[in-house]
Chain A
Amino acid sequence: MQANFTHLAVAGAAVLGVLILIAIYNGLINKKNRVGSAFSTIDVLLKKRFDLIPNLVSAVKFYMKHEQSVLTQITELRAKAMSGKLSEAETAAVDAQMTRALRGLMVAVENYPELKANENVLQLQRSLNEVEEQISAARRAFNAAVLDYNNGVEMFPSNVVAVILRYRQKPFFEIVEAERQNVSVGALFT
């Protein structure tokens, strides 16, 4: 009788252990996939931004004689991003450079009254603003997913499973400061 009870207890514990392991394993997979899904959302929005660029460049380049280098940089960055498969780190780097370049361009538009009055340019600025904010939101969502995943990889007990799966921490997406941009772009519309 006693032996049977012990066997039952051990079996029960083993089953419970397995269930917990499965839950942890699935949890980690879920977190990893959420990071992947969040990244592809960023990718989609980056593409949306890239699509705006040819129109924007052609709309402003006639007037913006002094900003040719910025325009060239933007065009080149776009070509680089659209060319082939960039790694996650490279995508993040190009995104950061592009964000800064575009921001610089928008500030420069301030000095050209003909552009500020141009309906087409205004519409492009609004669309660009919107996609920039959406990209910003996507970066934040990505970072939240990465935080969750990194927590799973580092904290006990899921770190044990993570080591077995060879899951490593992922890097965050760089957030280019948002607040100053809103101020300078807002001024463009007054």
Chain B
Amino acid sequence: MKSDAEFESFYHEQLHPDVVDIEARRKKTARVLTIILVVAVAVFTVHAFMDWSGNGRVFNKEFFKGRMFPGLTLGSLFLVVWSAMTAGIKHDFKEKVIKRMIPFLDPGLRYDVKGFIPQRVFEESGLFREKPETYKGEDLVSGRIGKTDFQFSELDARYRFRGSGRNAESRLVTLFDGPFYVADFNKHFSGSTYVFPDIGEKLIGHVADILQRHGHGGVYGEFVKVEDPEFENYFAVYSSDQVEARYILSTSLMSRLTEFRKKADTRLSIAFRSSKVFIAMNTTKNYFEVPTFSPLDFAGVKKYFEDVMLVVGIVDDLNLNTRIWTKQ
């Protein structure tokens, strides 16, 4: 891991010129987009106004149709323009800033903008029981820290939802959309153990336990009552084997997972399966995107760096490099 001081000097030596350049372009683009937005809204309002003074009538089906359609078209056009104008900036930020930041953090790491965790690995986790119909992703960070291989990327998986009955609707529903992490685990085990966010936080203890027993269970295995109360506050454990679940979730790992959960400050769904650990993060935050309307400076870039450190640090946070059992 790198200290604040090391990052600061790296930033000034390597990243600053590109960041300044990108920021300048961002500012210009933001200005242009704001102008376009203002003009578009003005045009639209005028258009609507003209409709009004036409007839005496205020509420008119035709009037609405006349208003909605151009409104929506203008709106979508604006989004398209926005996306096109910022594409260059986003691409450059990833290629020039993120791509250099990651090997700086650790030379064993690689960054692939268009890469993402393969679908079979996503499915291997067993966290999501529907098979995705569409599957894509981006921002793959991968490598080896010590003895542990890991991969991290954004994923967007959707499945086909088929309604029941005669008017069976069929649409694509989001299965998972967010950051996904997978790493080699430091123990051998044969079954599957799942750690889900504890839904019983709002309910009163004992009742929550009973509900959880019959909750996720079944598909994910038996409910496992563990001893760490802070861990139990955040998580509920289900497993194919009571003993194996506790073998994986040692007292040490449970407290580490609790600390990580607090650090990440987002809901986590974790799976231990095929000798790997999978973490799905329930956050809408997009890891490497540059917001169009806020300034990009050292503090901003540092936040990206901290995000990456959080993810790469999972190996140390969960002590995955301690290989004192039969898995090496």
Contact = CB atoms under 8 A, between A and B. Distances in A.
Contact of B324 (A129, A134, A140): A129
Given A133-B250, A178-B251, A185 B324 contact: yes
Interface string B201-240: 0000000000000000000000011110000000000000
Nearest to B250: A133
Interface string B126-152: 000000000000000000000000000
A140 B325 contact: no
Interface stretch (B153-161, B241-249, B273-281, B286-294): B241-249
B326 A140 contact: no
Interface residues of B, number: 21
- Interface size bracket, A side: 20 to 34
B250 A178 contact: yes
Interface string B160-193: 0000000000000000000000000001100000
A68 to B, nearest CB: 26
A182 B319 CA distance: 12
Contacts of A126: 324-326, 328
A41 to B, nearest CB: 5
A141 B242 contact: yes
Given A136-B246, A178-B251, A179-B251, 17 more contacts: A38-B242, A126-B328, A129-B325, A130-B326, A133-B247, A133-B325, A134-B243, A137-B250, A138-B243, A138-B246, A140-B246, A145-B242, A148-B225, A179-B252, A186-B324, A188-B324, A189-B324
14 contacts: A127-B326, A137-B246, A137-B247, A137-B250, A138-B243, A138-B246, A141-B242, A144-B226, A144-B227, A144-B242, A182-B322, A182-B324, A188-B324, A189-B324
